[in-house]
Amino acid sequence: MSKRRVLAISPNLDQLRRIVANLERAGAEVDAVRSLDAIQSEIIPHRYVFMDVEEGDTRAVERLVPMLRQKSHAAVVTPKAALGELTDYLKDHRVNHVIVGEELDRGVFVTAQKLLTGDIFGIEKYLPEGTPVHYVRLRDFEGRGKALDTVLAYAEEAKMRRQVRSAIGSVCEELLMNALYDAPVDENGNQIFAEVDPHDRTKSRSPRPVSIRYAATESQFAVAVRDRFGRLAKNTILAYIDKCLRSPVQIDRKTYGAGLGLYLVANAAASYLVNVAYGIATEVVCTFDRGAKAPLRLVGVFVHPGQAEMLREGPTPETAAGRPDDDDDAVQLETGGQ
């Protein structure tokens, strides 16, 4: 079975046609079926699977998972999904993408293109061709402040609404702090700033530069923050968001650390994409609508080919339990935006 052969599944014929068209546009050879029952083998031979499910139908994904090869990549397409449903869809290590509602065409096309080519980095993939992309490089807290001012000034110049600019600022602040002070690790994989008080970290320089790219279009604003360490794992993202979603008590930064950062980003952005090359770089791409705030509708975690095992298990609230309170904030920086 060719690695470029993709399986599309949808009970809705119109939806199936749209999915197939976008997969073919991305360069795939597509097999299409209306349901899992139409598949003759116990294990789906395709490496890439795009499955359309009804709103909230996590059972369909649960049926799919046992049929996937261990190295498969599955994407869920659904008309609507709350944040809790998104995390439920993504629990298995082979299901790394959810495409919601109006995002179907662009989401399926870009996701497939990145999976098929292995070219996973770059904010440009989520922008119309020719969109100007701006760039700032930084290494310390002062640089972070200047970068935030620059991005927000550009957002205002691009006539983004105040509410949208506020969301952009919050997300950029989280991602930049994470990339500067949590992503850095030594040659043994230990956090360089783990034992440094969070307030004292701001006096230190990151050992490797951090970059932020940003752009505006007629319909959205996009940002991408990149570190040079590449350690953020999907299970970390899901574990902390899930903890924030299901907590019976009020969320606070001291208790939740990184989880709060991840949760805030997921609630503020329309798209949340994580691209990771282990030991090299993590890039977090977020987009924001110009209009009214809409729920998160495009989620993806892309790992450089051949590196999935190295990024299978990252830190979670449970593994971080028992640390001193100040270190809880350190965990927040670590998991929020490498």
pLDDT in tens, 141-161: 899 999 999 999 999 999 999
In the predicted structure, residue 324 carries a pLDDT above the cut 50: no
Q: Is 49 exposed, middle or buried (0-12, 13-18, 19+ CB in 10 A)?
A: buried
Note the pLDDT of residue 328. Answer: 35
141 vs 181: CA distance, rounded Å: 9
40 vs 20: CA distance, rounded Å: 20
Confidence of residue 3 (pLDDT cuts 50, 70, 90): low
CB atoms within 10 A of CB 280: 13
Region 175-195: mean pLDDT is 83
77 vs 52: CA distance, rounded Å: 4
Note the pLDDT of residue 338. Answer: 34
Q: Domains plus CATH for the chain?
A: 5-117 (3.40.50.2300), 123-336 (3.30.565.10)
Q: Are 198 and 326 in contact (CB under 8 A)?
A: yes
Q: Look up residue 140 and give its DSSP letter.
A: S
Closest alpha carbon to 133 in 228, 222, 225, 265 = 222
Rg (CA), the chain: 20
Instruction: Check residues 33 and 188 and name the one with the higher pLDDT.
Output: 33
In the predicted structure, residue 92 carries a pLDDT above the cut 90: yes
Token pair for 243 = 């903890």
Q: Using the structure block, give the residue that is written with the tokens 């919050």.
A: 170
Taking the whole predicted model, whether its pTM rises above 0.95 is answered as no
Note the pLDDT of residue 257. Answer: 47
Note the pLDDT of residue 292. Answer: 76
Region 70-86: mean pLDDT is 93
Confidence of residue 201 (pLDDT cuts 50, 70, 90): confident
pLDDT digits (tens, 9 = 90+) for 38-75: 998 999 999 999 999 998 888 999 999 999 999 999 99
220 vs 209: CA distance, rounded Å: 27
Mean pLDDT, all residues of the chain: 85
Q: What are the counts of helices (DSSP H) followed by strands (DSSP E) for the chain?
A: 12, 11
249 vs 251: CA distance, rounded Å: 6
110 vs 249: CA distance, rounded Å: 38
95 vs 100: CA distance, rounded Å: 14
In the predicted structure, residue 246 carries a pLDDT above the cut 90: no
Instruction: Check residues 1 and 113 and name the one with the higher pLDDT.
Output: 113
Residues 6+ apart with CB under 8 A from 145: none
Token pair for 260 = 């709060």
Q: Are 176 and 209 in contact (CB under 8 A)?
A: no
113 vs 6: CA distance, rounded Å: 11
Note the pLDDT of residue 181. Answer: 84
pLDDT digits (tens, 9 = 90+) for 250-303: 454 444 444 567 788 888 999 999 999 998 999 999 999 998 777 899 999 999
DSSP string, 255-302: HHTHHHHHHHHHHH-SEEEEEEETTTEEEEEEEEESSS-----EEEEE
SS3 content of the chain, % helix, strand, coil (to 5): 40, 20, 35
